[in-house]
């Protein structure tokens, strides 16, 4: 039986839960309350010495880091796939590159924006807010260009799209209209929202506790 140790509003855990849903895999969700420091408890640190969610336990196998968890799930439960087909090396690389870009640039940047917006208005750094808004807008413009003539970022729906979904879908709460003057991004978002794995995702919100 698969167990997923997660904090519902963590975007990286949401990535994993999308993949689990895409593959119709049953699992037990073990909540780890970051607000109570449960990720620093010895029993959790035995699973992940870095003290971060998500962590996946599949029988005797323990895997942490959302990207590595999703690679494990793709290897162990290959159907339906969340990576382009084996042999499509260029597309598989493209999917992984976009997932990494989402993880290391887009998601943290939106997280910083969440933290700033969550402050009382008088305490907000307006220059930082402007920089963060502009940074997110630049990413959206780039994605709009990369999606020309494409349904998804790397062929079929894949980890490339999944990596962006959690933070992309809450931008409206932060005052950013991702679809404005971006027809390709608009269509992409609409296609993702048609998927049950996205529709059923819990915890999508601009929560400063799990902003990173």
CA 17 to chain centre: 9
Name the DSSP letter for residue 155: B
Name the DSSP letter for residue 122: G
Q: DSSP H helical segments within the chain, as ranges? A: 11-22, 42-45, 66-76, 89-101, 107-118, 126-146, 159-168, 183-193, 196-199
Known catalytic residues? 10
Q: How far apart are CA 76 and CA 70, in angstroms?
A: 10
**What is residue 45's three-state secondary structure?**
helix
Host H or E run for residue 29: strand 27-31
Q: How far apart are CA 83 and CA 92, in angstroms?
A: 6
Name the DSSP letter for residue 77: S
Q: What is the dihedral of CA 41, 43, 48, 54, to 10 degrees?
A: -80
- Confirm if 176 and 136 have CB atoms less than 8 A apart: yes
């Amino acid at each position: 039986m698969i167990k997923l140790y997660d904090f519902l509003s963590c975007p990286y855990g949401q990535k994993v839960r999308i993949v689990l849903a895409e593959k119709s895999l049953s699992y037990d969700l073990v909540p780890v309350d970051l607000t109570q420091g449960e990720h620093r408890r010895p029993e959790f640190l035995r699973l992940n010495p870095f003290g971060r969610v998500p962590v996946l336990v599949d029988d005797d196998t323990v895997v942490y880091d959302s990207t590595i968890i999703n690679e494990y799930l793709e290897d162990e439960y290959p159907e339906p796939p969340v990576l382009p087909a084996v042999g499509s090396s260029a597309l598989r690389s493209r999917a992984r590159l976009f997932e990494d870009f989402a993880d290391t640039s887009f998601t943290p940047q939106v997280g910083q924006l969440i933290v700033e917006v969550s402050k009382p208005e008088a305490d907000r750094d307006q220059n930082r807010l402007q920089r963060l808004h502009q940074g997110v807008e630049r990413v959206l413009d780039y994605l709009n260009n990369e999606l020309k003539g494409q349904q998804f970022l790397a062929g079929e729906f894949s980890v490339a799209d999944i990596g962006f979904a959690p933070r992309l879908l809450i931008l409206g709460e932060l005052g950013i209209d991702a679809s404005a003057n971006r027809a390709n991004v608009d269509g992409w978002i609409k296609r993702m929202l048609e998927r049950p794995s996205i529709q059923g995702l819990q915890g999508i919100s601009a929560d400063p506790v799990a902003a990173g």
